[in-house]
Amino acid sequence: MIVAITGGTGFVGAALARGLVASGHKAKLIARGLNQRDESIRQLANTSFTPITDMDEKKLFLTFSGCDAVAHCMGIHREMKKGDFQKVHVQSTLNVLSAARRANIKKIVLVTYLRARPRMFSAYHKSKLDAEELVRSSELDYTIVKPGLIFGHGDHMVSHISRGLKSMPLVGIFPTVGIFQKSIRPVSIDDVVKVLMAALVDNRLSRQTVAVVGPEEMSLGRAVQRVSKVMHKWTITLPMPALAHYAVACSMENSMKDPLVSIAQIRMLAEGMSQPLPNTDLLPSDLVPQTKFTEEEIRAALGEPPKS
Protein backbone atom coordinates (compact mmCIF):
# COMPACT_ATOMS: atom_id res chain seq x y z
CA MET A 1 0.00 0.00 0.00
CA ILE A 2 0.97 3.66 -0.30
CA VAL A 3 0.74 5.93 2.75
CA ALA A 4 1.12 9.71 2.71
CA ILE A 5 2.82 11.00 5.87
CA THR A 6 2.65 14.64 6.93
CA GLY A 7 5.58 15.54 9.12
CA GLY A 8 7.31 12.82 7.14
CA THR A 9 10.84 14.02 7.91
CA GLY A 10 10.15 14.49 11.62
CA PHE A 11 10.86 12.02 14.42
CA VAL A 12 7.59 10.06 14.35
CA GLY A 13 6.92 10.43 10.62
CA ALA A 14 10.38 9.24 9.59
CA ALA A 15 10.19 6.24 11.93
CA LEU A 16 6.80 5.32 10.48
CA ALA A 17 8.15 5.63 6.92
CA ARG A 18 11.00 3.27 7.74
CA GLY A 19 8.58 0.78 9.29
CA LEU A 20 6.32 0.87 6.24
CA VAL A 21 9.18 0.43 3.77
CA ALA A 22 10.65 -2.44 5.82
CA SER A 23 7.26 -4.18 5.51
CA GLY A 24 7.11 -3.77 1.73
CA HIS A 25 4.98 -0.63 1.48
CA LYS A 26 5.59 2.82 0.00
CA ALA A 27 5.48 6.22 1.63
CA LYS A 28 4.97 9.75 0.37
CA LEU A 29 6.74 12.10 2.78
CA ILE A 30 5.28 15.57 3.20
CA ALA A 31 6.92 18.29 5.29
CA ARG A 32 6.77 22.06 5.71
CA GLY A 33 10.54 22.24 5.15
CA LEU A 34 13.74 20.23 5.17
CA ASN A 35 14.53 18.61 8.52
CA GLN A 36 18.30 18.80 8.76
CA ARG A 37 18.51 16.30 11.63
CA ASP A 38 17.82 13.25 9.46
CA GLU A 39 19.16 13.70 5.95
CA SER A 40 18.87 9.97 5.17
CA ILE A 41 15.07 9.83 5.29
CA ARG A 42 14.73 11.61 1.93
CA GLN A 43 16.96 8.96 0.30
CA LEU A 44 14.98 6.04 1.71
CA ALA A 45 13.94 3.49 -0.93
CA ASN A 46 10.27 3.41 -1.97
CA THR A 47 9.61 6.91 -0.70
CA SER A 48 9.09 10.30 -2.31
CA PHE A 49 9.42 13.72 -0.70
CA THR A 50 7.18 16.75 -1.25
CA PRO A 51 7.75 20.05 0.56
CA ILE A 52 4.44 21.87 1.16
CA THR A 53 5.31 24.90 3.24
CA ASP A 54 1.78 26.07 4.02
CA MET A 55 0.01 22.67 3.80
CA ASP A 56 -1.94 24.01 0.82
CA GLU A 57 -5.04 21.89 0.15
CA LYS A 58 -4.50 21.67 -3.61
CA LYS A 59 -0.90 20.52 -3.21
CA LEU A 60 -1.97 18.00 -0.57
CA PHE A 61 -4.64 16.64 -2.91
CA LEU A 62 -2.10 16.11 -5.69
CA THR A 63 0.25 14.34 -3.28
CA PHE A 64 -2.53 12.20 -1.76
CA SER A 65 -3.68 11.00 -5.19
CA GLY A 66 -3.00 7.29 -5.52
CA CYS A 67 -2.52 6.80 -1.77
CA ASP A 68 -4.43 4.30 0.34
CA ALA A 69 -4.17 6.14 3.66
CA VAL A 70 -2.83 9.28 5.34
CA ALA A 71 -0.83 9.50 8.56
CA HIS A 72 -1.05 13.05 9.90
CA CYS A 73 2.05 13.24 12.12
CA MET A 74 2.90 16.92 11.76
CA GLY A 75 3.23 18.91 14.97
CA ILE A 76 5.25 21.48 16.88
CA HIS A 77 6.03 22.09 20.57
CA ARG A 78 6.94 25.75 20.17
CA GLU A 79 5.37 28.78 18.54
CA MET A 80 7.75 30.98 16.57
CA LYS A 81 4.93 33.51 16.50
CA LYS A 82 1.50 33.65 18.10
CA GLY A 83 -1.00 31.47 16.29
CA ASP A 84 1.47 28.84 15.08
CA PHE A 85 -0.20 26.06 17.11
CA GLN A 86 -3.54 26.92 15.51
CA LYS A 87 -2.00 27.04 12.04
CA VAL A 88 0.09 23.87 12.27
CA HIS A 89 -2.27 21.66 14.27
CA VAL A 90 -5.77 22.85 13.38
CA GLN A 91 -5.67 24.53 9.97
CA SER A 92 -3.37 21.84 8.57
CA THR A 93 -5.79 19.16 9.79
CA LEU A 94 -8.68 20.92 8.05
CA ASN A 95 -6.67 21.01 4.82
CA VAL A 96 -5.54 17.38 5.17
CA LEU A 97 -9.12 16.19 5.69
CA SER A 98 -10.43 18.17 2.75
CA ALA A 99 -7.65 16.95 0.45
CA ALA A 100 -8.11 13.37 1.68
CA ARG A 101 -11.82 13.43 0.84
CA ARG A 102 -11.10 14.76 -2.65
CA ALA A 103 -8.46 12.08 -3.19
CA ASN A 104 -10.85 9.33 -2.04
CA ILE A 105 -8.66 8.42 0.92
CA LYS A 106 -10.53 5.99 3.15
CA LYS A 107 -8.29 6.00 6.27
CA ILE A 108 -6.62 8.76 8.26
CA VAL A 109 -4.47 8.31 11.35
CA LEU A 110 -3.81 11.38 13.51
CA VAL A 111 -0.92 11.57 15.97
CA THR A 112 -1.79 13.95 18.79
CA TYR A 113 -0.92 14.20 22.52
CA LEU A 114 -1.73 11.97 25.51
CA ARG A 115 -3.26 14.66 27.73
CA ALA A 116 -4.92 16.95 25.15
CA ARG A 117 -8.30 17.78 26.68
CA PRO A 118 -10.78 20.65 27.16
CA ARG A 119 -10.62 23.40 29.77
CA MET A 120 -6.84 23.73 29.59
CA PHE A 121 -5.28 27.21 29.55
CA SER A 122 -2.81 26.07 26.94
CA ALA A 123 -2.79 26.93 23.25
CA TYR A 124 -0.88 23.70 22.60
CA HIS A 125 -3.42 21.45 24.35
CA LYS A 126 -6.37 23.27 22.77
CA SER A 127 -4.96 23.03 19.25
CA LYS A 128 -4.29 19.31 19.63
CA LEU A 129 -7.80 18.70 20.95
CA ASP A 130 -9.36 20.79 18.17
CA ALA A 131 -7.51 18.69 15.60
CA GLU A 132 -8.86 15.51 17.21
CA GLU A 133 -12.42 16.82 17.09
CA LEU A 134 -12.08 17.68 13.40
CA VAL A 135 -10.97 14.13 12.62
CA ARG A 136 -13.72 12.54 14.74
CA SER A 137 -16.40 14.61 13.02
CA SER A 138 -15.17 13.75 9.52
CA GLU A 139 -16.80 10.98 7.53
CA LEU A 140 -13.45 9.27 7.06
CA ASP A 141 -12.45 6.13 8.90
CA TYR A 142 -9.95 7.30 11.51
CA THR A 143 -7.68 6.31 14.35
CA ILE A 144 -6.41 8.93 16.79
CA VAL A 145 -3.16 7.96 18.48
CA LYS A 146 -2.27 9.81 21.70
CA PRO A 147 1.31 9.03 22.80
CA GLY A 148 3.01 10.44 25.85
CA LEU A 149 6.76 11.00 26.04
CA ILE A 150 8.41 9.10 23.17
CA PHE A 151 12.04 7.97 23.18
CA GLY A 152 14.26 6.72 20.37
CA HIS A 153 17.07 7.88 18.12
CA GLY A 154 16.42 11.52 17.19
CA ASP A 155 13.80 12.08 19.89
CA HIS A 156 13.09 15.15 22.01
CA MET A 157 13.50 13.29 25.30
CA VAL A 158 16.89 11.57 25.48
CA SER A 159 18.54 14.01 23.08
CA HIS A 160 17.50 17.05 25.14
CA ILE A 161 18.50 15.42 28.42
CA SER A 162 21.92 14.54 26.97
CA ARG A 163 22.37 18.05 25.55
CA GLY A 164 21.63 19.51 28.95
CA LEU A 165 24.07 17.17 30.69
CA LYS A 166 26.83 17.76 28.12
CA SER A 167 26.59 21.51 28.68
CA MET A 168 27.57 21.08 32.35
CA PRO A 169 31.12 20.55 33.63
CA LEU A 170 32.11 17.44 35.62
CA VAL A 171 29.00 17.16 37.82
CA GLY A 172 25.64 17.64 36.12
CA ILE A 173 22.87 19.44 37.99
CA PHE A 174 19.56 18.76 36.27
CA PRO A 175 16.54 20.77 37.44
CA THR A 176 13.33 18.72 37.38
CA VAL A 177 9.89 20.30 36.95
CA GLY A 178 8.03 20.98 40.17
CA ILE A 179 8.93 20.49 43.83
CA PHE A 180 6.85 17.30 43.76
CA GLN A 181 7.53 15.61 40.44
CA LYS A 182 4.74 14.22 38.33
CA SER A 183 5.30 10.86 36.67
CA ILE A 184 6.05 9.95 33.07
CA ARG A 185 5.79 6.64 31.17
CA PRO A 186 8.39 6.79 28.37
CA VAL A 187 7.24 4.89 25.29
CA SER A 188 9.53 3.54 22.57
CA ILE A 189 9.16 4.92 19.06
CA ASP A 190 9.13 1.31 17.84
CA ASP A 191 6.04 0.60 19.92
CA VAL A 192 4.35 3.76 18.63
CA VAL A 193 5.10 2.76 15.02
CA LYS A 194 3.65 -0.69 15.69
CA VAL A 195 0.34 0.92 16.70
CA LEU A 196 0.37 3.28 13.72
CA MET A 197 0.99 0.44 11.28
CA ALA A 198 -1.76 -1.68 12.82
CA ALA A 199 -4.19 1.17 12.11
CA LEU A 200 -2.87 2.01 8.64
CA VAL A 201 -1.93 -1.37 7.17
CA ASP A 202 -4.14 -3.82 9.04
CA ASN A 203 -7.13 -1.46 9.32
CA ARG A 204 -7.37 -2.03 13.07
CA LEU A 205 -8.47 0.43 15.76
CA SER A 206 -11.17 1.82 13.48
CA ARG A 207 -12.84 4.97 14.88
CA GLN A 208 -10.92 4.66 18.11
CA THR A 209 -8.88 7.13 20.16
CA VAL A 210 -6.04 5.22 21.79
CA ALA A 211 -3.49 6.25 24.42
CA VAL A 212 0.04 4.91 23.93
CA VAL A 213 2.27 4.90 27.02
CA GLY A 214 5.26 2.84 28.09
CA PRO A 215 5.29 -0.06 30.56
CA GLU A 216 7.26 1.77 33.29
CA GLU A 217 6.05 4.68 35.40
CA MET A 218 8.82 6.89 36.79
CA SER A 219 9.76 10.44 37.64
CA LEU A 220 11.67 12.63 35.20
CA GLY A 221 14.51 12.61 37.72
CA ARG A 222 14.78 8.84 37.52
CA ALA A 223 14.84 8.99 33.72
CA VAL A 224 17.61 11.61 33.85
CA GLN A 225 19.65 9.40 36.18
CA ARG A 226 19.39 6.51 33.73
CA VAL A 227 20.61 8.68 30.86
CA SER A 228 23.45 10.13 32.95
CA LYS A 229 24.58 6.61 33.91
CA VAL A 230 24.84 5.63 30.25
CA MET A 231 26.76 8.87 29.58
CA HIS A 232 29.08 8.13 32.56
CA LYS A 233 28.21 11.48 34.10
CA TRP A 234 27.55 12.02 37.78
CA THR A 235 24.31 13.97 37.96
CA ILE A 236 22.27 15.50 40.74
CA THR A 237 18.58 16.09 40.04
CA LEU A 238 17.29 19.22 41.72
CA PRO A 239 13.53 19.88 42.04
CA MET A 240 12.68 23.38 40.84
CA PRO A 241 9.30 25.15 40.92
CA ALA A 242 7.46 24.99 37.61
CA LEU A 243 7.26 28.79 37.51
CA ALA A 244 11.05 29.00 37.35
CA HIS A 245 11.07 26.51 34.47
CA TYR A 246 8.50 28.60 32.59
CA ALA A 247 10.79 31.62 32.91
CA VAL A 248 13.78 29.65 31.61
CA ALA A 249 11.75 28.16 28.73
CA CYS A 250 10.46 31.60 27.76
CA SER A 251 14.02 32.94 27.68
CA MET A 252 15.25 29.98 25.63
CA GLU A 253 12.41 30.29 23.11
CA ASN A 254 13.27 33.95 22.61
CA SER A 255 17.03 33.45 22.27
CA MET A 256 17.65 29.97 20.81
CA LYS A 257 16.83 28.50 17.40
CA ASP A 258 16.51 25.03 18.96
CA PRO A 259 15.78 25.57 22.68
CA LEU A 260 16.44 22.76 25.15
CA VAL A 261 12.87 23.04 26.35
CA SER A 262 9.71 24.89 25.33
CA ILE A 263 6.88 26.40 27.37
CA ALA A 264 4.50 23.72 26.07
CA GLN A 265 6.87 20.95 27.17
CA ILE A 266 7.15 22.45 30.67
CA ARG A 267 3.37 22.48 30.94
CA MET A 268 3.24 18.82 29.90
CA LEU A 269 5.88 17.78 32.45
CA ALA A 270 4.27 19.90 35.18
CA GLU A 271 0.99 17.98 34.89
CA GLY A 272 2.55 14.57 34.27
CA MET A 273 2.67 12.38 31.18
CA SER A 274 1.62 8.96 32.40
CA GLN A 275 -2.15 8.73 32.82
CA PRO A 276 -4.43 8.27 29.79
CA LEU A 277 -7.65 10.25 29.79
CA PRO A 278 -10.87 8.41 30.77
CA ASN A 279 -12.40 8.73 27.29
CA THR A 280 -9.57 6.93 25.46
CA ASP A 281 -9.81 3.35 24.24
CA LEU A 282 -7.60 0.54 25.49
CA LEU A 283 -5.12 -1.00 23.10
CA PRO A 284 -5.50 -4.73 22.37
CA SER A 285 -2.98 -6.83 24.28
CA ASP A 286 -0.69 -7.45 21.28
CA LEU A 287 -0.25 -3.70 20.73
CA VAL A 288 0.37 -2.66 24.34
CA PRO A 289 3.93 -1.22 24.51
CA GLN A 290 6.44 -3.56 26.14
CA THR A 291 9.78 -1.80 25.57
CA LYS A 292 11.27 -0.50 28.81
CA PHE A 293 13.50 2.55 29.18
CA THR A 294 16.67 0.50 29.64
CA GLU A 295 20.35 1.35 29.25
CA GLU A 296 20.38 -0.50 25.92
CA GLU A 297 17.46 1.56 24.62
CA ILE A 298 19.06 4.78 25.87
CA ARG A 299 22.30 3.93 24.04
CA ALA A 300 20.31 3.36 20.86
CA ALA A 301 18.54 6.70 21.35
CA LEU A 302 21.94 8.40 21.77
CA GLY A 303 23.17 6.72 18.59
CA GLU A 304 25.74 4.60 20.45
CA PRO A 305 26.54 0.97 19.56
CA PRO A 306 25.13 -1.75 21.88
CA LYS A 307 27.31 -2.66 24.83
CA SER A 308 29.18 -5.90 24.12
Q: What is the DSSP letter of 40?
A: G
Summarised one tens digit per residue, pLDDT across range 14-24 is 999 999 999 99
Domain 2-150+187-214+274-289: CATH superfamily, name plus number: NAD(P)-binding Rossmann-like Domain (3.40.50.720)
Summarised one tens digit per residue, pLDDT across range 278-298 is 989 999 999 999 999 999 999
Specify the amino acid at residue 41. I
Summarised one tens digit per residue, pLDDT across range 67-77 is 999 999 999 98
Pairing type for strands 47-51 and 69-72 reads: unpaired
- Cα–Cα distance measured from residue 300 to residue 168, given in angstroms and rounded to the nearest whole number: 22
Summarised one tens digit per residue, pLDDT across range 201-227 is 999 999 999 999 999 999 999 999 999
Summarised one tens digit per residue, pLDDT across range 62-98 is 999 999 999 999 999 888 888 999 999 999 999 999 9
DSSP string, 212-233: E--S--EEHHHHHHHHHHHTT-
**Domain coordinates in residue numbering, the chain:** 2-150+187-214+274-289, 158-181+217-273
